[in-house]
Amino acid sequence: MPIFHIVVLCVVLCAVYFLFVIPDLADRWARKHFVASDYGLAPREQLDPSRPGPPSPPHRRQERQAVADAAWDGNWRAAEAYVRAAGDDWDERWSRTELLREVAREDDAWLDAWRAAEPGNCDAATLHARIMVQQAWEIRGSEYAYKVSKDRMESFRAMLPAAIEEARRAALLDPANPGPWVVMVTAARGAQYRRARFRPLWDGLVARAPHHYEGHWQALQYWCAKWYGNDRLMMRFARKAVRKAPQGSPLPGMYVHALEELAGRPAAALSFTPVVRGHLKRVAASLAEADPDDERLPALRHLLAHYMLRSRMYGPALEQFRLIGPWCGAEPWRREGDPKTVFETARGRAVKLSRASVTATARSHGIAR
């Protein structure tokens, strides 16, 4: 056998060994010998597959419930004050509008009263446009286009132009508010906007809120291959989000969302190069400085730990598992079977392959995010 062929064969065998054999051996060790609390991790008996992270603090839940109850009692002023109190923290303002969208699903009479009383209120108009987009997507469903009936697809596409027009009118009520632009960016892919029509919407959004998290997530969907982009454009968009985000922002999490999109497509080539590992490190560094109460963090940490494991960044993945605590009800673990078992095996792999030592405070771990 020529030397060249021998070298190639050795390289292939080494790759198979490191990519498949070693992780499999680590997983077997995890199933038989891994004791999580020995490494500063939540014990298996404390794992909670019901949610990806801890519940909201009591005061926040109480505030939200009070706003919902007031709205259902016909007091739209509580909803208006709740959104207005976010000021120009546009991510928080959007989050509060999201709560009101959920409130309106059960009863929207209070929203009609608000819009009638304050026809010039941008938040009320934006909320109405959001609900129009939501109703259109509920008719369409979440299936791929070829699985959606012709009637449902026609209804879906007929509703979105009206929602976009409603959002345009809302934008005129408060030119500084990016909310209507997020609605337009969200609706654009369903309305079959090609790139030349989409870009002005995106430009309008980032001119008002350059680091808007939901706006970026919706744009990421537009640029993915299943809509109007491709893998290259989506990853370029995600890398730019990492590069442009202020330190301590959750926005670099767009990168792990993009990896999720790639992983969900069998034809996509998902390779973990030094460049990918470098971006994962930057995501971790930004999340480390984010507000620990940010409710987006737990889900992002799960994805980050998952892709760090896949890229053989075992030590950094272990650190994410420590920050995650006992919460294991997240997508990476749910889609592969019982989330507690999958999560526990993943933690064990991180411990084994990072060669972690038993911690001095093995039995007094925390359950931080």
Give start and end residues of each alpha helix (H) in 264-367.
274-288, 297-310, 314-324, 331-334, 339-354
Q: Which residue has the higher pLDDT, 127 or 16?
A: 127
Spatial separation of the C-alpha atoms in residues 249 and 252, rounded to whole Å: 7
Percent of the chain surpassing pLDDT 90: 77
Q: Using pLDDT thresholds of 50, 70 and 90, give the confidence band for residue 361.
A: low
Exposed / middle / buried, residue 122 (Cβ in 10 Å: 0-12, 13-18, 19+): buried
How far CA 138 is from CA of 123, 183, 196, in Å, comes to: 22, 16, 27
Spatial separation of the C-alpha atoms in residues 184 and 164, rounded to whole Å: 5
Res 3 pLDDT > 70: no
Determine which of 33-47, 137-151, 277-291, 325-339 has the lowest per-residue pLDDT on average: 137-151
Q: How confident is the model at residue 269, as a pLDDT?
A: 66
At 299-342, the pLDDT tens digits run 999 999 999 999 999 999 999 999 999 999 999 999 988 999 99
Residue that the structure tokens 């507000």 belong to: 291
The percent helix, strand, coil of the chain (3-state, each to 5) is 70, 0, 30
Spatial separation of the C-alpha atoms in residues 250 and 135, rounded to whole Å: 28
At 99-126, the pLDDT tens digits run 999 999 999 999 999 999 999 999 999 9
pTM: 0.89
How far CA 187 is from CA of 147, 166, 197, in Å, comes to: 20, 11, 12
What's the distance, CA 25 to chain centroid? 31
Angle at the Cα of 287 from the Cα atoms of 281 and 288, rounded to 5 degrees: 85
Exposed / middle / buried, residue 351 (Cβ in 10 Å: 0-12, 13-18, 19+): buried
How far CA 340 is from CA of 25, 51, 150, 326, 330, in Å, comes to: 19, 11, 40, 9, 10
Q: How confident is the model at residue 157, as a pLDDT?
A: 85
Q: How confident is the model at residue 16, as a pLDDT?
A: 41
3-state secondary structure 40-94: CCCCHHHCECCCCCCCCCHHHHHHHHHHHHHHHCCCHHHHHHHHHCCCCCHHHHH
| The length of the chain, given as a count of residues | 369
Beta bridge partners of 48: 327
Exposed / middle / buried, residue 38 (Cβ in 10 Å: 0-12, 13-18, 19+): middle
Chain mean pLDDT for the chain = 90
Q: How confident is the model at residue 21, as a pLDDT?
A: 56
Enter the DSSP assignment of 190.
H
Res 197 pLDDT > 90: yes
Q: Which amino acid is at 205?
A: L
Q: Which amino acid is at 60?
A: R
CB 105 within 8 A of CB 84: no
Paired tokens of 77 = 């002023």
Enter the DSSP assignment of 245.
S
